[in-house]
Chains A and B, each alone.
Chain A
Amino acid sequence: MILKSYRYTNEVILEHLSEQIIQSDTLEALEKLRIDIFGKKGVLATEFAKLKDIPAMEKKAFAEGLNRHKETLQNSFDAKFDMLQNEAIEQRLKSDFIDVSLYSSLAKKGALHPVMETMDKIIEYFVAMNFSIESGPMVEDDFHNFEALNLPKHHPARDMQDTFYFRDGHLLRTHTSPVQIRRMLETKPPIRMIAPGSVFRRDYDLTHTPMFHQVEGLVVEEKGKVSFANLKSILNDFLKSMFGDVEIRFRPSFFPFTEPSAEVDISCIFCKGKGCRVCSHTGWLEVLGCGIVDPNVFKAVGYKEVSGYAFGLGVERFAMLMHQIPDLRSLFEGDIRLLEQFR
């Protein structure tokens, strides 16, 4: 495109190019225009080349005019370029479209067992209350499991706990209480401990499994420091932390290792105390046993002038109530149909 006259810049061509920029609809076409206009051999270069032939007095006006044109072209080019580039990105993004709803079930995490998860919650409460965690062996002897807990041989209360025995006279612990005895034998008071763990009783039916889990608690301080009122206080708080806003009822009961003893009920969480099948229409659910440590237990571990309380609960019972699990035995069968609900 060679201009015939130097007097005038080629307005027609420049305007036409401007029009072409506006009308180009691909980045490729625009690139071609860029070379035609702004390239080394482009229109603008040709126009500016005329400058050297233009008389001095007209030079300034010519240059000014040309620069104006250049600026206009540049602006419209930039605007078009941005527009087309954005369109291209948008296009590419659109081509990446996926139906996200197809993928919602892809993520998979395993489940923590509801019994263990419940045990975690119980443990966390007592750890926050500055209790220590203690553990002990599952295979126990008569002394730690019974004798030291004021359950002498032939005591009728031993019938309450049908025991697994070994040929050498050892047994599987029937409760986590022997951990109390071990702890007391190895250390001096004060003691504030819980003992979570599995326990074993020879019982197998709809509501009993030969293995289940307990959390045992024990507090020992010097004589006169620990009272039944203290026990009530912490258990009230604990049960509310586990079950929310429930009513709590203490009933006198009997355990060989505590005296006075009590069983603790919460108002039924299913019927709010009105009476339903789960609570046998009583409005109450029994959830734990507790009491002031029997002096015979302290005697057995050689403690003198002390006072203390103890409590114990079944973790499966808590888990079944908290999660409305209907079948105890399903908890020990690795049944994914149950477990996957806790993922």
Chain B
Amino acid sequence: MIVTKSWLNEFVDLEGISNEKLYETFNSIGLEVDHISSYVIPKKVVVGKIISCEKHPDADKLNVCQIDVGSGIRQIVCGAANVVDARYVAVATLGAVLPGDLEIKYAKLRGVASEGMVCSAVELGLPEVGKGILILDESIGTLEVGRELGSCEKVADTVIELELTANRGDCLSIYGVARDLSVALERKLKPLEHQSSLKEKLGIARMVEIQARGEIDADLSYMLASVDGVSLSCLVALRLAMIEIKTSEPLAGLLQYSMHAVGVTMRAYDAENLKDDGKIHLHIESRQKGIVAVIAKGETVSIVGISQDVASRAKEERSIVLFETSYIHPDLLVEAVAQSTLERDEIYYRTSRGSEPQLYIGAQYLSSLLKSNADCTFYDGSMDISSHFEPVTIGLSSEEVSSIIGQGIEKSKIVTILASLGFEIHSSKNENFGVVVPRFRHDVKNIQDVTEEIVRIIGINNIAAQPMSLVESNQKTEAAVRYAYKKELRQCASAAALDENISYIFSDRSRLEANGFACVKEELDLVNPITEELNTLRSTMMINLLEAVKRNVSYTKKSIGLFEIGAVFDAKRRQKEMFAVIFCGQKESENVANSGKPAMIDFASFVGKIGSIIGTFELAPCSYKNRLIHPYQSADILINGQKCGYLSKLHPVVQNEYGIYETFFSEIDWDALLPEHINAKAVSNFQGVYRDLSIVINKQISYGQVNKVITALESEILKEWYPVDVYEDKSLGGQKSLTVRFMIQSMHKTLEESEIESVMMLILNSLEHNCQAKLR
């Protein structure tokens, strides 16, 4: 909502109120100032009166004007075509400096002397007003020749853009804003200026007849006028430009101007077109709750607050116009519109948020405006229809208001504030009393709404902060525990030289499908995705992470390690949190230790990284299937024997598609990473020994199988074992050599050599039997 200071001043006296004060006041009463700026007209730009205007002897498009600028008559050459219609203009006299550092100097234009410049609005730093020069008239104030234009407040105005909240439809007009401002500034609203119009002798009833069908939810008021030659005054044109309304039709411009000024919904109909047998027969029909149709000659010409048939609009050349002002409660309107398929026009924004219900203000403002901007004669009287209106009454007590605010507020203060805001107070000597909400504040419905009004006017900054007393309690919720562990995991990941990534939970359905990932079922998917690339919920984080890696490669990064904890969704759209890691390129930074040629990330280093983040796990042959997985360097991750994710080298074909370096990635179910409670076991105080066992086995037998056989022995003194060497060569044929290191220790004593030998024999026998292993 854009307001201007001089326009506000029509409704409330702003004498002596600085822009800073206005800015502060608006913000403190909840009308947030988005932008505030003043137009500054350069010095030495004055009101000039054109004495004569003649064609330039040597240039078709130029005129030579004699202009009275107060200090004398100046000859000025002007190129604008509309100068011939002008009497008063803005003249930049010699020495004036216009925006863009354009200094006005004595000049000769095609041989004719010119002492100044006749200015357009844009040349003065104002918004564009029509084509050509700015033609001045009395609407901007008294036109005293030679007066500095900058002293004219209506031209050098201050424009304030307010960001209105959705509940404040009452402030969608200059009048509405002034009404709120008047309370905050403690200045009374000015009585509306109303030029008594020359009434035509004919009463409106001779020309218009209205019939209502059904209970009408809207208030309507009609006026009839003969309108001739509408032309916008300088002020109206300038202000329409300042509030960024563009219209080529003067009558439509006047309607918009009036609506912006007072907030009443207005429409203009071409009366000739509505006539039926020399008279207008309007039928007002309630179609359903909230939908009120205006019908003439059997056709719907408009629906109150929603739309108007374009053909019924008043046309500029026609002289008889039927003006309609209306109000409908926004709650009714919005509900009805949502259930219908009706088209809405630009007025709906206003009506859906609550337009001004006092129709007479609109009628008065509009007729007065027409008087000064057109040859206009109104028929006598108006034709009105009123809806049934039940005012809202709210019961209050100062105690309750005070307890919401947290500060004692006296009843008298509450009464004063509410009365000034237009509330009607039911007088009572009790602490409890009732207030009637003014009709223009349809958003005020309960005691907290009323309290907000009081808070606005007192100013929140005048409410003292007060710490709350509380009873402390155990607030360690499940979410808190999960958060704490998530943070720990993130810190471990950052210690493993991975950067944390956040990506959208959206993905590209076709890309997910092409790479063999599950997708949310069509019938559960998004209706209104923002782009094709983000048209579904992701079922994996890997696609997003690959994109991030690709971007970083294009930023010439050679070593890219990212991790992310985020949500993914399965086919049934169930949400699950995953921990994902991707590592691409050099496994460490280029430095003197590796002579600037670090090795690429490999399986062992990547597994090491994952381990340093998530702790102990086992790897088993990969059971996951998607196009990113390398079939021979991939594995399931098992924690406590449970499969919870996988890690893999990126399939070289996909790596090529993305144009990135060798890459490893992993995606793990985050829930599986939550740590379990640990109880310590006793440790042995006796000497332990390490023994290696080297066997020769079939190449196809994995260490995992060997491990299983050893585990099955359930030997108490086998504390731990791990593979330390694998060796294959031609001489071994289809066999490979495997060395496993064992740590052997007893809880009860120092082991004898014979006992150690016997457990090693046991292992070898078992491996010979189960894996056809041979001692090397």
Contact present for A202 and B592 (CB under 8 Å): no
Residue ID in chain B nearest A204 by CB atoms: B530
* A155 surroundings in chain B (CB, below 8 A): 166, 334
Task: For the complex formed, measure the closest distance between the CB of B486 and the CB atoms of chain A, giving whole angstroms.
Answer: 9
Q: How far is the CA of A153 from the CA of B337 in the complex (A)?
A: 11
User: Does B498 reach chain A (CB closer than 8 Å)?
Assistant: yes
Which of A120, A209, A211 has most B Cβ within 10 Å?
Answer: A211
Contact present for A254 and B593 (CB under 8 Å): no
User: Does A295 reach chain B (CB closer than 8 Å)?
Assistant: yes
User: A105-B589, A106-B589 are contacts. A251–B460 as well, Cβ < 8 Å?
Assistant: yes
- The tally of CB-CB contacts under 8 A between chains A and B is 260
Pick the residue among A123, A167, A336 that contacts B523 (CB under 8 A): A167
User: Does B499 reach chain A (CB closer than 8 Å)?
Assistant: yes
User: Does B452 reach chain A (CB closer than 8 Å)?
Assistant: yes
Contact present for B405 and A229 (CB under 8 Å): yes
* B491 surroundings in chain A (CB, below 8 A): 112
Q: How far is the CA of A196 from the CA of B486 in the complex (A)?
A: 13
User: A132-B477, A227-B403, A228-B404 are contacts. A109–B448 as well, Cβ < 8 Å?
Assistant: no
Task: For the complex formed, measure the closest distance between the CB of B364 and the CB atoms of chain A, giving whole angstroms.
Answer: 28
Q: How far is the CA of A138 from the CA of B549 in the complex (A)?
A: 26
Q: Interface on chain B toward A: helix, strand, loop, or mixed SS?
A: mixed
Contact present for A137 and B575 (CB under 8 Å): yes
User: Does B372 reach chain A (CB closer than 8 Å)?
Assistant: no
* B557 surroundings in chain A (CB, below 8 A): 336
Contact present for B490 and A139 (CB under 8 Å): no
Question: Which of A16-24, A72-80, A81-89, A327-335 is found at the contact surface with chain B?
Answer: A327-335
Contact present for A202 and B528 (CB under 8 Å): yes
Contact present for A250 and B166 (CB under 8 Å): no
Q: How far is the CA of A69 from the CA of B451 in the complex (A)?
A: 108
Task: For the complex formed, measure the closest distance between the CB of B277 and the CB atoms of chain A, giving whole angstroms.
Answer: 41
* B464 surroundings in chain A (CB, below 8 A): 229, 232
Which of A154, A200, A307 has most B Cβ within 10 Å?
Answer: A154
* B482 surroundings in chain A (CB, below 8 A): 135
Contact present for B493 and A254 (CB under 8 Å): no
User: Does A35 reach chain B (CB closer than 8 Å)?
Assistant: no
User: Does A110 reach chain B (CB closer than 8 Å)?
Assistant: yes
* B446 surroundings in chain A (CB, below 8 A): 259, 295
Which of A165, A280, A292 has most B Cβ within 10 Å?
Answer: A292
Count B interface residues, CB 8 Å: 100
Q: How far is the CA of A230 from the CA of B466 in the complex (A)?
A: 5
User: Does B525 reach chain A (CB closer than 8 Å)?
Assistant: yes
Task: For the complex formed, measure the closest distance between the CB of A216 and the CB atoms of chain B, giving whole angstroms.
Answer: 13
Contact present for B467 and A230 (CB under 8 Å): yes
Contact present for A211 and B338 (CB under 8 Å): no
* A133 surroundings in chain B (CB, below 8 A): 475, 477, 479-480, 483
CB proximity to A under 8 Å, residues B549-586:
549, 551-552, 555, 557, 560-563, 567, 569, 573, 575
Task: For the complex formed, measure the closest distance between the CB of B548 and the CB atoms of chain A, giving whole angstroms.
Answer: 3
Chain A 266-309, CB within 8 Å of chain B: the 1/0 string? 00000000000000101000000000101100000000000100
Apart from A106-B593, A167-B526, A333-B551, what 7 extra A-B contacts exist at CB < 8 Å?
A138-B567, A154-B335, A227-B403, A230-B406, A232-B465, A262-B460, A280-B35
Interface residues of A (CB under 8 A from B): 102-103, 105-106, 108-113, 115-116, 120, 123, 127, 130-135, 137-139, 153-157, 159-160, 164-168, 170, 190, 192, 196, 198, 200, 202-204, 209-211, 219, 221, 223-230, 232-234, 236, 249-254, 256, 259-263, 280, 282, 292, 294-295, 307, 331-337, 339-340, 343
List 4 A-B pairs, minimum CB-CB distance, nearest first. A227-B406, A229-B406, A334-B548, A252-B30
